[in-house]
Structure 1
């Protein structure tokens, strides 16, 4: 079976930790939930008192098969990838049904239980939005301060605020501003904020309802909305400022007083030709351009640090909005750079040898000064890196000594039973944490040492170049710089071409999922580097101050101050009056992304207070205003329904009739099920009597269905195959698609030799695509099922689908035995032997050569071209076959031969004549 990554998608809960000796240990991370999205994101939901683990910081993941086969029940490698510092934590993963075992080498195993799948139809937001928007069955009117009336339902309002009397003329929400009242009611019906909420409305809502009982979470959502809006605006401002810096650089070299905002216009820009005639002005322009580039670089650093440090506060949608905006602005930045390079290219082509010589002569003292400054910076950076590496080694050694002492103390203190018990409880968790920390710490040290080696090599090369340059005569220096300028001019066209190719790649070939990962990885690595600089700011402060003196930009210095690289107040001695972390937020023990999908999207049923309280309301039988009447036969009786009249009439043959009533709430039932809403609003007997009669279902099963309707979740644990079939039929009858999908996934585990054909027929009848595909795959892997009586009772179309699936499964098995190069090379081979063809026939279980055409005729239909992986290859193969065999052969036969030969023309020709 092919590797199926989808079985890993969904929300998992760590239920227990098992040592390699097979002993269950308590670690403190039990109950932690993580969600593996199809897009490659992993989201953690960790309690505050949980033991911190380094993989809680991971934001992306990757699953790769550990062997040749993979698939459900086989092992794979689950890699948690921490975009912060690029950590990769690898577990061996084994999935069986809804259980996953994660094994970390030489440490322990984490047993995880799947809570929900990632199917978008299964995890749907829970709300009563339709009741709020349409106002059906409303029993209460709340007026805003401007007289605007909102028709609402006391039953739903009491779910969140049961202590308030909602039957009087005044309520806690009466006479509020319309926008605040609308936001508060939206929250009470959907547990989220309304789309398009303004900052002013949020501030008013916090002021008017922030201290009201029951609205604490609503006020918290509004505060989060304000913070996140401010953060998004700050990031947008940083992006705009970087565009402005790019425009100013273009203005400096174009000699114009201003440029179009936003940078990215396609209007031509000409370089001021007088710059080449005035080397002093050219150098001044370059300095100003570098200053603008430094300011833009500081803005970029600030953007990366802001996103990396505060993304945990953002909802998923808000994080995606920022990344999408960055993706949309990247081509604009590249267009700015492209415009600038085009100007340099156009104007540099007119640069004469004399102009180049004059510029080189002027640049000699400038180059000498730059080399001195860069050499000093490189030397200081090298020393700082050595200090960082030594401090990291010392920190690791100190932690190890403390741990050893702690272990000796625990072992020596035999009389302290409490400490022994505590040590026993946390032993496995401590071992796992220490193992991970040690591995990642060593990885960080390797990265720092690698960077140090590169820096050392670059420093040696720079010093060599500096020494060589200083030993030249003045004339040789001028010639050397002049030659370098000439090379730079010659390379400009190539640089422009490479940039244009990069622009095409970014616009066409980078999908959203890859961009999302690259953006998070880049921003987090930058933030990690800033963290290392901050931790060693004392040694780097002189260099940082000198950079600020060179740039001489208040904006640049202000941005470094916001990053924490520079103090807000500098004393005469240059010492900082504030700590290195003064401008940065406190770092938590782990980065836990917000599990909120969006502040304006209702939560899933499993996280919804409304869902849980609605279920309790059903069980309490309070404030009911309708009923379901379940008619079912008594002992020995069968229900017979007459459909000849305008309305079905139920009668019982051979026994009595038993009727069971379940009292419900119209607004809840109508808001949660469109079919019931139409029935209750139709003006027919159901709406008049406020009663819906149900036939052909067991009362206990229908009660479970109603509970799932109220709660938004269906627990299929313990349900038999017959009960699941009845439930999926019930969900289909009343158009409950989300519950229907849940039943489909549950029925997949009930597919076996006895039920496969029946469930295939059921899935086809109820349009259950997931269940039908799974049943087909199972039958294709067990072709002996076609000889059963159940197969003969299937419709002709399903029989054809089964036969096609079996034939295709045989072809896939043949392809699985080929090498990767052979699978990638789809061109017709030059040599085809009869032995290869016989092997293919053997793998397809075809023994009678005279019956080849008949066997293939029943297995592959020309109308089912959806089974063909590449229609273009098929068309090419058919055209070549037609030239060989002529027009008399039916196309259906050629299609089957082409499929069996895997589009290889020579093999197909031999196969055709051999089978004839």
Structure 2
């Protein structure tokens, strides 16, 4: 197993973790490699803090497969934290990383060796569809008429690939007579294996109803059902958010008096300040509205956590972005509420404060009794839950000592046990907080009860005064936060907080649901305290309360979705967007298209591949009297025919599409002539057009020829794939060839890699192949290498220093004591100054270098003109050792 140098990690920043990694092997802490069943698992860490997984179907389920968020704590060692966003747990690995290797060490267990691989989201993994043929209608050979009379020109070949079990030769063909929107949606699916953008729920319902009995469209029906389901989820989340906004508005209206809270004559319609009874009532109603909003928030978190595995990444991000877009609205509602509180409290006198405090004393005593009772019951319930969890942990420890455990069992059990222990620690920590809160509350309650009535009123009045004084401060902070909301909460931070927050809420709800029998009495008391149907119904939807219907029956769970089991892991791009064609690797059309090409059935065009082979025989010619020897050149022309399908070729290659629709001979004869390639390689090229994949391993020469073909026929996806495949073949023997190839076809990535390789191996420029490169490439390589070995530019002397470059001009006396010692400067630049040289030698060198300097400057001036000053030219000439070509390269670089 390869080890990583520690300095690699110390110099690393978080960006070295970004990319796609594959678990290669699992190594025990004893140093032995043991199979775990998770080898081959691929995970991706992106720059936005998301982690996604691609796990084999038969892989052992691991707790970290459900993690969707990660965080890196840089240090020595660094820590990679994976957040299980449904369970709300954190799995931490010590991590060492280099350019292409990452080691994840789990405490007291094992080490996972991970290899960096090319991302599945690479440009070579493109979407596959025939939508161009449907939209343009070229080469159509079938007409499907909708119930409205509109005709759709389609292709039997593609429809046969999409649904081979249907008879597309029948009269009328399948889908005929259906509503226009349904036919269009079905055809879009058949040509692209996805739903069209802008699809409405009504059309989706109509599609399900129309195709229910049509064989072979079960997948299309399932997509429509998923679309309706996901749309309903987004609408439900939007509805929950609107309900929370409505609750916030109701709270504001309660305090402004816009919302009539009661007709009780004792409360009346007077000002809140002048009527303590009305103020107390409004506060209670506001707290009930807040409780309803909190219950809606719990439902939102639970829905997103349970259903997010059914959504694509894009759809999840839409929901998270929607939630972020509501932040300013909630902040504005909070600001309005504080402004209302400030308006009411700004005119409160000491007498009015005392009257309000006197009225609140019995309310506070009653609230303290209720809260203390609830805390006692919560502590009892928590202790019961902790006991049950501890018993489960003991069972895990007992299983841990079973003999003959392999690394897979150890890893899985260690992770599960660690997560279970963390959950237990969370519960114990929460119980400790509850205990501490209970003791503080009981102490305050006891102190409050020992006060006289007047002391109680003064104490409440003092707290009211402090609260009123802090309202303006809260208002200022809210306004500051609103003005800098986007800066303080970036998209990455918000996405991370949203996922983590919803997961922790979902984990808490899951714990409450699993111990509902213990907490049932406590939940019922909370429902009685809130006394709102919306609150009770919300808890019933969360399976936390039995809702009693008007008929008297009990509903245990109103949320059907919440009863679904949690997925064991999140797939890496397992569910693509419903309205985006699938990637090549997931496309059924791609597989069937390649099978169609190999079968040769129903072809309607041909590629004529012309291969010219030259040969020569030695001939002795006696026609001139004397025998002469010459080479008799002969050309053999071989023609190979490869058949194809016009609609497939045209839909997958724009160059061929233009040729087949041009009206020229290619379009008339349905024949395209291909030169300068061999039949086998062209069949590989054609196979890529049909399937979007390369079906065989290719050599460097074949990849280069295929890159030539893809450039000639404008197949950019194949050109990019060849470019990235050739990167791994850059060697001493191929670097110059691949650089020339990349330069010819403008392959920037391959060109950059080849150039970097040459800079690391400068001896390659001495080869004969280098002389065969285009002149501009040779010049560029030499310039790049020159930059790499060029000594540092001499620092100019201070302008005020005698003899500095800035003071040098055409009339300077170079021999003057204050002039510039050019020879000394040149010696310093080249590192050959000799302190032991004699004065005569020094003078000789001085005169010679002065002449060479002036000659070099004169040549530079004739080429560059007046764009550079004399001082600059002098400095460049010195750095280039008076060589004009080197000086020019230095100047233009």
Query: TM-score scaled by structure 2?
Result: 0.79
Contact kept, 8 Å, 2:131 with 2:191, in 1: the verdict is: yes
Match of 2:372 in 1: 375
**Aligned positions of 1:460-539 closer than 5 A:** 460-539=439-518
Q: Go from structure 1 to structure 2 and tell me whether the alpha carbon gap of 1:809 and 1:398 turns closer, same or farther (over 3 Å shift).
A: farther
CA deviation string 1:534-591 (max 9, x = no partner): 22222222221111111110001000110111013499xx998858998831323614
The 2-side partners of 1:95 and 1:611 are apart by 37
| Partners of 2:16 and 2:99 within 8 A in 1 | no
C-alpha contact (below 8 Å) 2:541/2:557 kept by paired residues = no
For the Cα contact (< 8 Å) 1:95–1:101, is it kept in 2?
no
Query: What is the aligned partner in structure 2 of residue 724 from structure 1?
Result: 703
Aligned to 2:885: none
2:84 pairs with 1:56: no
Partner of 2:817: none
2:227 corresponds to 1:254: no
Q: Deviations over 1:799-829 (max 9, x none)?
A: 45874588589999xxxxxxxxxxxxxxxxx
Partner in structure 2 of residue 88 of structure 1 = 91
State the SS of the aligned residue for 2:607: strand
Tell me if 1:239 matches 2:236. Answer: no
Who is 2:125 aligned against? 123
Counterparts in 2 of 1:656 and 1:616: CA distance versus 1, 3 Å:
same
2:754 is aligned with 1:775: yes
Match of 2:570 in 1: 592
Residue of structure 1 equivalent to 2:329: 332
Point out the more displaced range, 612-621 or 156-165. 156-165
User: Which residue of structure 2 aligns with residue 713 of structure 1?
Assistant: 693
Indicate which of 442, 450, 456 corresponds to 2:435: 456
| Structure 1: distance between partners of 2:769 and 2:449 | 92
Give the CA deviation at 1:794. 5.3
Q: Distance in 2 between matches of 1:462 and 1:654?
A: 106
Q: What whole-Å deviation, never above 9, does each CA across 1:678-728 have from its counterpart, x for those lacking one?
A: 11111122212212222222322221111111111235x742222222222
Deviation at 1:28, TM superposition (A): 4.7
Q: 1:62 to 1:159 in 2, by over 3 A?
A: farther
What residue number does 2:419 align with?
A: 440
TM superposition shift of 1:329: 0.7
Which residue matches 1:684?
664
Residue 703 (structure 1) aligned to one of 683, 687, 692: 683
In the alignment, the residues of structure 2 paired with residue 403 and residue 585 of structure 1 have an alpha-carbon distance, to the nearest angstrom, of 31
Indicate how the Cα distance of structure 1 residues 115 and 198 shifts in structure 2: closer, same or farther if over 3 A, else same: farther
| Residue segments in structure 1 that go unaligned for 5+ positions in a row | 69-75, 260-271, 412-422, 638-651, 813-840, 858-885, 898-916
Asked if residue 354 in structure 1 is aligned to residue 351 in structure 2, the reply is yes
Once residues 357 and 887 of structure 1 are traced to their aligned partners in structure 2, the CA distance between those partners, rounded to angstroms, is 85
Distance (whole Å) between structure 2 residues aligned to residue 106 and residue 806 of structure 1? 53
Give the C-alpha shift of residue 654 in structure 1: 4.9
Listed as ranges, the matches of 1:413-428 within 5 Å are 427-428=406-407
Which residue does 2:804 correspond to in 1?
none
1:174-226 per-residue CA deviation (whole Å, 9 max, x = no partner) reads 11111211111111110011112222222222222123221111111111111
Contact preservation (8 Å) 1:596, 1:603:
no
1:393 aligns with 2:390: yes
Contact 1:159 1:614 in 2 (8 A): yes
Structure 2 contact 49–69 (Cα < 8 Å) conserved? yes
SS in 2 for 1:722: helix
What is the CA-CA distance between 1:290 and the residue it aligns to?
0.8
Do structure 1's residue 177 and structure 2's residue 186 form an aligned pair?
no
Query: How far apart, CA to CA, are the structure 1 residues paired with 2:511 and 2:541?
Result: 16
138-147 vs 26-35, greater mean Cα deviation: 26-35
Indicate how the Cα distance of structure 1 residues 710 and 699 shifts in structure 2: closer, same or farther if over 3 A, else same: same
Counterpart for residue 543 of structure 2 = 564
Where 1:174 maps in the other structure, the secondary structure is coil
Change (3 A) 1:583 1:9: closer
SS, match of residue 81 in structure 1? strand
**CA–CA separation in structure 2 for the residues paired with 1:535 and 1:518:** 25
How far off its partner does 1:127 sit?
0.5
Alpha-carbon distance between aligned partners in 2 of 1:615 and 1:322, rounded to the nearest angstrom: 38
CA contact under 8 A between 2:303 and 2:562: conserved in structure 1?
A: no
Distance 1:888 1:344 in 2: 74
Once residues 706 and 235 of structure 2 are traced to their aligned partners in structure 1, the CA distance between those partners, rounded to angstroms, is 49
CA distance in 2: counterparts of 1:8 and 1:336, whole angstroms: 40
Match of 2:228? Answer: 226
Distance 2:418 2:441 in 1: 34
Following TM superposition, by how much is the alpha carbon of 1:460 offset from its aligned partner in structure 2, in angstroms?
A: 2.4
Q: Does 1:663 align with 2:656?
A: no
CA-CA distance at 1:120 after TM superposition:
5.1
SS at match of 2:329: helix
2:661–2:667 contact (8 Å) kept in structure 1: yes
- Counterpart contact for 1:561–1:583, Cα < 8 Å: no
Q: 1:887 to 1:809 in 2, by over 3 A?
A: closer
Provide the residue aligned with 1:41 in structure 2: 50
Partner Cα distance (1:528, 1:314) in 2: 20
Conserved 8 A contact 1:145-1:175: yes
Out of 22-31 and 755-764, give the one that drifted further.
22-31
The worse-fitting range, judged by mean Cα deviation, of 46-55 and 278-287 is: 46-55
Distance in 2, matches of 1:87 and 1:619, equals: 51
Residues 488 and 219 of structure 1: CA distance in aligned 2, closer, same or farther (over 3 Å): same
Question: Which has the larger Rg?
Answer: 2
Structure 1 CA distance for aligned equivalents of residues 62 and 668 of structure 2: 59
Match of 2:822 in 1: none
Q: Size of the alignment, in residue pairs?
A: 779
Instruction: Report the alpha carbon displacement of residue 595 of structure 1 after superposing the two structures with TM.
Output: 1.8
Distance in 1 (alpha carbons) for counterparts of 2:789 and 2:366 = 72
- How far did 1:250 drift? 0.9
> Per-residue deviation at 1:444?
2.0
Hey, what's the Cα distance between the residues in 2 that align with 1:113 and 1:620? 39
